[in-house]
Amino acid sequence: MKVVAQVLPAIQTPLVNKFYQTHKARGKATRQDQNWVLKGPDIVAACRVQHVTGHCFLSTVLVAPEQRGKGFAKVLLNAVLAHQQAPLYTFAYRHLSAFYAGLGFKAIDPLALPQGLADKYHTYVAQGRQILPMQCINPE
């Protein structure tokens, strides 16, 4: 299947949310986010780059369950990284940290997070999420 990574125009934000709802993702895209998708005829993967207190934050990375294991997350995230002009933070689930490291992310101390991201991190940890703060400083 031929797929193309692209940022959706803000008016198409509901398409990302429909994809997330269909696959029971926790996140919800907004028009202020960079909403990235990987599309064949339909969306097979999506993610968001949010601006949190002036910092770029990658969230809600999701590949449709029937499309997993085909390298689609890597294709999507490489496209995202190629278009970023600033450091990009994410909170990787611990079992996926090696995947993110392979894309150029490095684990960082939670104390090194900017305040708005630190607040978000602590909220997620309090919810029981097993996450690791990571940052890609030199997107390629």
Helix (H, G, I), strand (E, B) or coil at 77: helix
Q: CA distances (Å), 132 to each of 35, 87, 110, 124, 129, in order? A: 22, 16, 8, 11, 9
Strands 55-63 and 88-93, by their bridges, are parallel
Is the Cα dihedral 69, 104, 12, 21 positive or negative?
positive
> How far is the C-alpha of 24 from the C-alpha of 39, rounded, in Å?
19
CB proximity list for 81: less than 8 A, separation 6 or greater: 88, 103, 104, 136, 139, 140
Tokens linked to 73: 């997350």
What is the number of residues in the chain? 140
pLDDT in tens, 2-14: 899 999 999 999 9
pLDDT in tens, 73-98: 999 999 999 999 899 999 999 999 99
Among candidates 96, 105, 81, which has minimal Cα distance to 7? 81
- Supply the pTM of this predicted model: 0.94
Domain residue limits, the chain = 4-136
**Res. 139: pLDDT tops 80:** no
Please give the CATH number for the structural domain made up of 4-136. 3.40.630.30
